[in-house]
Amino acid sequence: MGIRRILIANRGEIAVRIIRSCERLGIETVLCVSEADRHSLGARMATKAVCIGPASPAKSYLSVETVVQAAMGYGCDAIHPGYGFLSERAELASLCETEGVIFIGPTAAQIEAVGDKLRARSEAIAAEVPVVPGGPVGTPEEARRLAEEIGAPLLIKAVGGGGGRGMKLVEDLADLHATMDMASAEAGAAFGDARVYLERYVREGRHIEVQLLGDGAGRVVHLGERDCSVQRRYQKLVEETPAPRLPPATRDKLLAAAVRFAKRLHYRGAGTVEFLYDVGRDEFYFLEMNARIQVEHPVTEMVSGVDLIAEQIAIAGGEGLRLRQEEITLSGAAIECRINAEDPARDFMPSPGTVTHAEWPKGEGIRVDTHIVDGAMVPPFYDSMIAKIIAHGPDRASALQRLCNSLGMTRIEGIATNLDFQRRILADPDFAEGGIDTGFLARLLEKEPA
């Protein structure tokens, strides 16, 4: 089934990214925009832009019925959800299935299988993928018993979602019940699901994830791993591939485990399996699966030459998985910095406003994914990320040098950004050496606050 017109249920740089692939494929695009995004770059680039509601995400980008009605009303064959917003809402995939609109992503059942973190843990165990010691808790007494078995420190995590919301560290078991109450309340507010579970805390861990594509019939390929260990409050800031200083034998096991997990689900489309790598033990554990395209997908595209958006569309359109594992070649290294409209000097407070001037880098091995041009508005209602700058080189050192040079060439005026802070990260000797853990950024800020 050929897809001729796609409704994009998203905004910002990912909307522009999807439009560019569709243009190359000769596919028309209808972009959903809120009233705040009527004049965005994406609205001007799409074949057609349709306003679906006010600026509030709950009344526009998060309205399942409105999005599907817009797709049907404007004659779209398919919906691409991008990332965030409705991308991992089984309700959208289900309604698409009911109304005969192609959902460019996994099935509703697959989204439900990985969206519930406890069920995902069970699927991982069934696929013989290692998980962090821990488990569900229903009562304070169950929590106490499991916590004593795991030992401190431990993490309390939300069953219904990720991104650090509902996640709390317990250093002393005397604080367990009070911290659980806070985590449960936060999870309930963020995901509508107050359930939490416990896991052992790994002090020196790295966040490593594997990019996958599946045909929905049991065939799955991987496109290598990404290291996303540079995080602030569980939010990624820098991503790269391949993961530096990861033992080759461990990398092979990790890639195989991710493929095994996705095959068990008969996964369809693009997805990412995330792992926590315990540096001291040289062991890895399943964290979760993201059933969508990831923010950091460009680093994989840079080393593989594969357009992941185009592959998503091909799979959804019935062409199946066009790549075989032996055909996927990963060349060199790529690193990505997220540029956010936020002020590091004011505890990273968001900085909405008008961008009076934007100047992005160009050059060999450089890519910029953004929706920001001169005069662009950064509304206060959405995520603060305004761009991703990606550098590719024959090895990590050359990619890092190109990225440093690129940040030096970037100019964004009118709003505060984390551009200088990103330069500081890249210049740090520990980052330059490679293989840092998820505590790196906190240590950097302890030495010298932003």
Over residues 25-49, mean pLDDT = 98
pLDDT above 60: residue 194: yes
Q: Which of 177, 417, 161, 192 is nearest to 287 (CA)?
A: 161
Q: How far apart are CA 310 and CA 307, in angstroms?
A: 5
3-state helix, strand and coil shares in percent for the chain, rounded to the nearest 5 = 40, 30, 35
CA distances in angstroms from 400 to 7, 236, 424, 433, listed in the order given:
36, 17, 13, 11
Q: How far apart are CA 405 and CA 412, in angstroms?
A: 15
**Residue 147 confidence (pLDDT):** 95
* 272-318 per-position pLDDT tens digit: 999 999 999 999 999 999 999 999 999 999 999 999 999 999 999 99
Q: How far apart are CA 98 and CA 108, in angstroms?
A: 11
What is the distance, to the nearest Å, from the Cα of residue 214 to the centroid of all Cα atoms in its chain?
18
pLDDT above 90: residue 138: no
* 383-420 per-position pLDDT tens digit: 999 999 999 999 999 999 999 999 999 999 999 999 99
Helix (H, G, I), strand (E, B) or coil at 310: helix
Across the chain, what does the average pLDDT equal? 96
- Cis before 153? omega within 30: yes
Helix (H, G, I), strand (E, B) or coil at 24: helix
Of all residues in the chain, the percent with pLDDT exceeding 70 is 99
Q: How far apart are CA 285 and CA 157, in angstroms?
A: 15
How many beta carbons lie within 10 A of that of residue 58, not counting itself? 9
Over residues 340-352, mean pLDDT = 97
Over residues 20-33, mean pLDDT = 98
Q: Which of 319, 298, 316, 318 is nearest to 308 (CA)?
A: 298
pLDDT above 60: residue 1: no
Q: Which of 68, 38, 71, 41 is nearest to 53 (CA)?
A: 38
**Residue 188 confidence (pLDDT):** 84
**Structural contact between residues 68 and 108, judged by C-beta atoms closer than 8 angstroms:** no
DSSP character string of 336-368:
EEEEESEEGGGTTEE--EE-SEEE---STTEEE
Run of H or E including 74:
none
Q: How far apart are CA 69 and CA 103, in angstroms?
A: 13
Q: Could you tell me the pTM of the whole model?
A: 0.94
Over residues 178-187, mean pLDDT = 91
Mode of pairing for the β-strands spanning 283-290 and 377-378 = unpaired
Q: How far apart are CA 65 and CA 374, in angstroms?
A: 34
**Structural contact between residues 417 and 350, judged by C-beta atoms closer than 8 angstroms:** no
Q: Which residues are catalytic?
A: 292
Compute φ and ψ for 402, nearest 5 degrees: -65, -40
Q: How many residues does the chain have?
A: 450
**Residue 348 confidence (pLDDT):** 96
**Residue 193 confidence (pLDDT):** 84
